[in-house]
Amino acid sequence: MSEQPIIRRRQVTTGISDSRVNNAKTQSQYQPYKDAAWGFINHWYPALFSHELAEDQVEGIQICGIPIVLRRVDGRVFALKDQCLHRGVRLSEKPTCFNKSTISCWYHGFTFDLESGRLATIVANPDDKLIGTTGITTYPVHEVNGMIFVFVREDDFPDADVPPLEQDLPFRFPERSEQFPHPMWPVSPSVLDQNAMVLGMHRTGFGNWRIACENGFDNAHILVHKDNTIVHAMDWVLPLGWVPTSDDCIEVVEEEHGPKGMMQWLFTDKWAPVVENQELGLKVEGVNGRAYRTSVVMPGVLMVENWPGERMAQYEWYVPITDDTHEYWEVIVQVCDTPEERQKYQYRYDHVYKPLCLHGFNDCDIYAREAMQNFYADGTGWNDEQLVSTDVSPITWRKLASRWNRGIAKPGRGVKGAVKDSSLIFKDTADGRRPGYKVKKIED
Amino acid sequence: MSEQPIIRRRQVTTGISDSRVNNAKTQSQYQPYKDAAWGFINHWYPALFSHELAEDQVEGIQICGIPIVLRRVDGRVFALKDQCLHRGVRLSEKPTCFNKSTISCWYHGFTFDLESGRLATIVANPDDKLIGTTGITTYPVHEVNGMIFVFVREDDFPDADVPPLEQDLPFRFPERSEQFPHPMWPVSPSVLDQNAMVLGMHRTGFGNWRIACENGFDNAHILVHKDNTIVHAMDWVLPLGWVPTSDDCIEVVEEEHGPKGMMQWLFTDKWAPVVENQELGLKVEGVNGRAYRTSVVMPGVLMVENWPGERMAQYEWYVPITDDTHEYWEVIVQVCDTPEERQKYQYRYDHVYKPLCLHGFNDCDIYAREAMQNFYADGTGWNDEQLVSTDVSPITWRKLASRWNRGIAKPGRGVKGAVKDSSLIFKDTADGRRPGYKVKKIED
Amino acid sequence: MSEQPIIRRRQVTTGISDSRVNNAKTQSQYQPYKDAAWGFINHWYPALFSHELAEDQVEGIQICGIPIVLRRVDGRVFALKDQCLHRGVRLSEKPTCFNKSTISCWYHGFTFDLESGRLATIVANPDDKLIGTTGITTYPVHEVNGMIFVFVREDDFPDADVPPLEQDLPFRFPERSEQFPHPMWPVSPSVLDQNAMVLGMHRTGFGNWRIACENGFDNAHILVHKDNTIVHAMDWVLPLGWVPTSDDCIEVVEEEHGPKGMMQWLFTDKWAPVVENQELGLKVEGVNGRAYRTSVVMPGVLMVENWPGERMAQYEWYVPITDDTHEYWEVIVQVCDTPEERQKYQYRYDHVYKPLCLHGFNDCDIYAREAMQNFYADGTGWNDEQLVSTDVSPITWRKLASRWNRGIAKPGRGVKGAVKDSSLIFKDTADGRRPGYKVKKIED
């Protein structure tokens, strides 16, 4: 006979507490966010740095599960769905262009108009009745100050409804100086500013974009940075962390025509530095360090003002590739009006900011994000996590993102990551290659 | 509150077109083909080259999700299911044979009769009542001119119904010379011909067998070959492609006792070379190259007549291993009646055909096939693809394959690939090994 | 039109036999065992050797899908769930401890009491209302003679019900000498004996823990060892195998307060050595070798008495990590009352037992276990396997395990292995790392 195994039960004294701030009611307010494993669609995302796409160069990337091919012609960048409508291969795998107004599939010669995506012709089948009746989706492009942005949209999202890039970028100054005064530092430069010099890097993060994004403006993760070289090099004395002291410690911005996001009132009396933990016998004296302020706007763009130096701002994007990978973008912006200023900034970026900040400092954020992936990957983390008062930041973000996203990306179809482990991926890993962002070109 | 995100809709102006030739009605005619991810069963497939299985050697392979072990005794090759009925290990992992008429499992000594598959004895349990009451499936073998073919069948497929190998091989000549006249070249040799010398290779392709197979006789993929060394070495001038000019451009053969397949009337007025594409300003003059003709028969065997040289034919198989890997076979056949002819052919194969054709030329087909895998791997590609008039070839093939296959292979049970990512595979890849075709022997 | 493919049916003459001993009725008696892919929970398992956890060292492991962190303070070992209740990262990835009574999360400073698991404080949020209201599960620890054992339990399993370690360890002697007399050898030492010297190793096995465990006491797998160096070095002449000759060849022990398990009456008239197989013409003469006896107790602990030498016993554990990996433990125990004895035993272990037994001999068991994984990984093996009379051992084990386990582990939640193939794992393998047992530390 087969008895069921004996299970003894008792009152749970550890485990999930009702005192957590993200109870069921709170969670119900950001369900759309929980559903956005593949990202928010119909938003602007950075695709490449300008220097990564030379004249006539073709590159393929993937954002929100959508393969995208970019080509630059006479300086202008075009973006189309990187999946031939015929047999689904990626055009970018073997770039084939016969003129300046089209891109052709290297396999069967299906040729698409760069401007409209329309099937313009088929190399070896010029009279086929399919020509002109179909096409692939195009994606609006905005290139500014060294960055190429793409509006990643659903196939049926109308051109007329495409918002300006500004609506998906952080709050700008001095326009917002009155709304968000910051006596402690000069106005923060924007990627869109005239003479803005944008320096930075991007790499693939192995984890979902949401847990990466939340780490960016989480005010309680200071611990991971305590041993950073930059901290000690600058003789900073960091507090143990920050706690909100007022209900309006975060300001949510939901103006109809502006970016939707939130600003955190750091370095004001709405957030208090924690300098002591009696339980642990920890005490910090003579706190000093760089004053900064973080904000985040849809679709997940971080701005760190006055960081990593004066008259600078660091911006970060966590661009969804699949549901378990994202492209991590870090850029530092400074306005440089003269060649001398540009040269000086470039030098300082190469020798200080890139090695000590974008790497040394932010590398710690990367392992923190990857460390969360197993917990959230199977969906259980979103329910099991127990958040506290300092998590007002991610919770506020989750709610506003649930209200203001322009669409939730569906799981990728017919793309890398749609089926979790194709032998193709096994072959890559077995060959010692890592899953990546850019499409690997075929060697002739 | 949690609003659903706003979605704006409009008329779709790009996307899937009704003008494609594979509309819903057409697709319904090859549903069985769409279901055959793991291949067609109850057919003949190549297993190994004769030189890969020396006297008394044992090798394990997998076809259509079925593990198969081969052993050669006194020259004769036997094939059985390579999965011990006791605890399911593969006999081929550690070949153990105590006599010429059986193969024993290296683990617990279950011993099977090579001829019948019957459980003949158990090394350490000679009187067990299971002996003689059960066994493993055997697979008919046909070895000819250096190739070992196996009839891969369902466990209950009767010996009496096993068709001759000829029924699963390409159309033969001169028998078919009247039916398929070809003034431009001599009769094509067959693997079955007397004194046929068969040279070739096989390797694992990472992708489903169907998309590999369709590429083999697709007349529109000429683009991928335009830069091949062989093409330039021979001063060939290829057309942009070929378009059908007549409804009978392909002849379907469905005789009761012959191979089921199709012959393409290439290099006749039923197919026109495309030498110009005005839209792209492309024009080809003085077309010349090697005249050839492709046909395909169940279960997916390609014949390229008059290729890569005179009095030769290239045959290809795309043998399903799992639903996302296949073994790609390429062989070139020439009849050589004298040792001199054999020696000369071998030399030319080693120094021209293998490097420039089987590798240089067909390697381009391999990357084209792998490039399609993501699109078809999750099943969406079969519905999303938009085929055109030149795709009459794959569509005709899909329909006849749906009508004439002898069975659709079920997903593998208890074999590699049945569960997508076992830690065993991870261990392999982590150790720098690629998923392969032959079973890796255990080192003592 | 799309016909269904023609399928011909006939009487099955091979395939699964009714004569197998594990028919449907028998299988129904061990359904709970078939359900225990992730292991049995609420049992004692070895976690680490004492020398692997120095004073103040922190290590993370995973057992039954549960991440566990161990820390040694003032000699005492504490074990807690290695998953921060805040955002789910593993505490062990970057050990952070501010005092002797707690362990803190390196990410946001959540600090847990080592003794109770209670959330004691949050480094930068000392007044949060969550503090004291929640916590993480703790696991009772028992360290003895160089081994650290952990009681792996469900979150709500009461301390009061935790059984002593003895209940999950093999039968002890001389207490059992009367119950299990063994004239052929001295009493077997136990891990718990005074002055017991325990030497051994553990490594990750790629396969489910059950098929690994069953191999340990399976009396029919002698074939895999026939070529072992130790066998030839000792001039052993092994029989072909062993067959049961009596219904009481195995004694099941189910006393209320003792270990639940079974003892096999090897080297008695209840098991007969097989020295001949006429069908294969095999005959063994002058059988001689080391007399031993195997038993197994819940949750899957093997004892091999009088092995690999006199006054010794080998113990093995197959600790579930996920449903397709387990940690394989092999230890050899000998009582050494003097430094000279200890030194001599250590020398012999280093130069004979470890290389020739734990490696040479048992390595053959490892590949046998991994060879079964594909067959059982998709669940089909448990139904398709055809067991015989010598399999009375695993069948008896499966039944008693189904009756006496203290709980069936649920699939891991939010841990490595819960989602089969996260990109994190791909990244690991692509970087040439193998999935492992201990958590890989983050390099600063």
CB contact under 8 A, C2 and B108: no
How close is the nearest chain C Cα to the Cα of A387, in Å? 6
Contacts of B350 (CB under 8 A, 6+ apart): none
Of the listed ranges A181-185, A435-439, C216-220, C341-345, the one predicted with least confidence: A435-439
CA distance A316 to A334: 15
d(C-alpha C78, C-alpha C70), whole Å: 6
Q: Looking at mean pLDDT, say which of A189-193, A319-323, C11-15 comes out highest.
A: A189-193
Report C:309-338 residues touching B (Cβ under 8 A). 322, 324-325
Task: List Cβ neighbours of C38 (8 Å cut-off, separation of 6 or more).
Answer: C64, C65, C320, C322, C323, C408, C409, C410, C411, C412
Q: Would an 8 Å CB–CB cutoff place A3 in contact with chain C?
A: yes
Confidence (pLDDT) at C64: 95
Q: What integer is the mean pLDDT of B345-353?
A: 97
The beta-carbon neighbor of B381 closest among A88, A127, A427 is A88
Whether chain B has a CB inside 8 Å of the CB on C381: the answer is yes
Do A407 and B7 count as a contact with CB atoms less than 8 A apart?
yes
Which among A278, A324, A390 is the nearest to C422, CB-wise? Answer: A324
Q: Does the pLDDT of residue A6 top 80, yes or no?
A: no
Q: What share of chain C is helix, strand, coil (3-state, %, to 5)?
A: 25, 25, 50
Do B431 and C434 count as a contact with CB atoms less than 8 A apart?
A: yes
C423 touches chain B (CB under 8 A): no
> In 3-state terms, chain B is what percent helix, strand and coil (to 5)?
25, 25, 50
Say yes or no for a CB contact (<8 Å) between A434 and C432.
no
Burial profile B126-152: b = 16 or more Cβ within 10 angstroms, e = fewer: bebebbebbbbbbbbbbbbbbbbbbbb
Contact residues, chain B, for C218 at CB < 8 Å: 108
Comparing CB atoms, the residue among C106, C121, C414 nearest residue A224 is: C106
Alpha-carbon distance C359 to nearest alpha carbon in chain A (angstroms): 27
CA distance C220 to C387: 11
Give the per-residue pLDDT at C6.
39
- Give me the DSSP letters along B145-205: TTEEEEEE--TT--GGGPPPGGGGS---TTTTTTTS--TTSPPPP-TTSTTEEEEEEEEEE
- From B243, B279, B371, residue closest to A121, measured CB to CB: B279
Residue of B nearest to C364 (CA): B444
Chain A residues closer than 8 Å to B382 by CB: none
Closest partner CB to B435 (pick from A134, A403, A430): A430
Chain C contact probe: residue of B91, B108, B159 with most C CBs at under 10 A: B108
A interface test, pick of B20, B208, B374 with most A CB neighbours within 10 Å: B374
Of the two residues B19 and C85, the one the predictor is more confident about is C85
CATH class of residue range C43-156+418-443: mainly beta
In tens, the pLDDT along A78-99 reads 999 999 999 999 999 899 999 9
pLDDT in tens, B45-69: 999 999 999 999 999 999 999 999 9
**pLDDT, tens digit, for every residue of B279-310?**
999 999 988 889 999 999 999 999 999 999 99
Average pLDDT over residues A398-405: 96
pTM of the model: 0.93
Closest alpha carbon within chain A to B219? A108
In three-state secondary structure terms, B104 is strand
Give residue A443's pLDDT. 53
Contacts with C, B 258-287, CB within 8 Å: none
Top CATH class, A171-378+386-404: alpha beta
A30-60 residue pLDDT tens: 999 999 999 999 999 999 999 999 999 999 9
Q: Which residues of B touch A86 (CB under 8 A)?
A: 385-388
Per DSSP, A104 falls in state E
Q: Tell me which chains share at least 3 CB pairs under 8 Å with chain A.
A: B, C
In chain B, what's the furthest Cα-to-Cα distance? 87
SS3 C407: coil
User: C117 — contact with chain A (CB < 8 Å)?
Assistant: yes
Instruction: Please tell me if residue A25 touches chain C, with a CB cutoff of 8 Å.
Output: no
Distance in angstroms (rounded) separating the CA atoms of residues A192 and A172:
9
Identity of the residue numbered B1: M
Residue of B180 and A425 predicted with greater confidence:
B180
C396 touches chain A (CB under 8 A): no
User: Which residues from A are below 8 Å from C424, CB to CB?
Assistant: 206-207, 324, 370, 373-374
Q: Is the pLDDT of residue B9 over 50?
A: no
In total, the C-beta contacts within 8 angstroms joining chain A to chain B are 220
pLDDT computed for residue C425 by the predictor: 63
Among chain A residues, the shortest Cα distance to B434 is held by: A430
Q: What is the reported pLDDT for C17?
A: 84
DSSP 8-state class, residue C129: T
Token pair, residue B286, equals 């003085």
Q: Which helix (H) or strand (E) holds B402?
A: helix B392-404
Q: Which residues on C lie below 8 Å from A9 (Cβ)? A: 156
> Can you give the pLDDT at residue B416?
78
Q: Which of residues 125-144 of C touch B (CB under 8 A)?
A: none
Which pLDDT tens digit goes with each residue over C373-401? 889 988 899 999 999 999 999 999 999 99
Query: What is the predicted ipTM?
Result: 0.92
CA R_g for chain B: 24
pLDDT at A18: 83
Q: CB–CB of C240 and B111 under 8 A?
A: no
**Minimum-distance CB partner of C418 among A211, A378, A430:** A378
Report, as an integer, the average pLDDT of A261-274: 95
**pLDDT mean over A386-390:** 94
B411: nearest CA in chain C? C378
CA distance C79 to A170: 45
- Note whether B222 contacts A: Cβ–Cβ < 8 A: yes
Residue B17: its chain A contacts at CB < 8 A?
A: 130, 133-134
Query: Has residue A291 got a pLDDT over 80?
Result: yes
User: Would you state the pLDDT for residue C268?
Assistant: 93
Please tell me if residue A86 touches chain B, with a CB cutoff of 8 Å: yes
Q: Single out the residue of A91, A79, A207 nearest to residue A153, CA to CA.
A: A79
Close Cβ partners of C168 (under 8 Å, ≥ 6 residues apart): C43, C44, C259, C297, C298, C299, C301
Tell me which chain C residues have a C-beta less than 8 angstroms from the C-beta of B406.
5-6
Q: C274-320, pLDDT tens digit by residue?
A: 999 999 999 999 888 899 999 999 999 999 999 999 999 999 999 99
**Mutant choice from C226, C277, C387 vs B, greatest count of B C-beta within 10 A:** C277
Q: Which of C15, C387, C425 sits opposite B426 (nearest CB)?
A: C425
pLDDT > 80? residue B10: no
Lowest mean pLDDT among A293-297, A308-312, A439-443: A439-443
What's chain A's average pLDDT?
A: 90
Q: Which of B88, B155, B415 lies closest to C14 in CB terms?
A: B155
Contact A277 C415 (CB under 8 A): no
User: Would you list the DSSP string of A211-248?
Assistant: HHHHHHH-TT-GGGGTT-HHHHHTT-B--SEEEE-STT
CA nearest to A436, candidates A425, A423, A422: A425
| Predicted pLDDT at B439 | 58
Give chains near B: 3+ CB pairs under 8 A: A, C
pLDDT of amino acid A440: 58
pLDDT confidence of residue A391: 96
Locate the domains of chain B by residue range: 43-156+418-443, 171-378+386-404
Task: Judge: B370–A156 Cβ closer than 8 Å, yes or no.
Answer: no
Q: Which residues of chain C have pLDDT under 70?
A: 1-14, 420-428, 431, 433-444
Residue A383 clears pLDDT 70, i.e. is over it = yes
Beta-carbon separation of C1 and B29 below 8 A = yes
Residue of B128, B154, B404 lying closest to C389 (CB–CB): B128
- Residue B424, chain A, CB below 8 Å: the answer is no
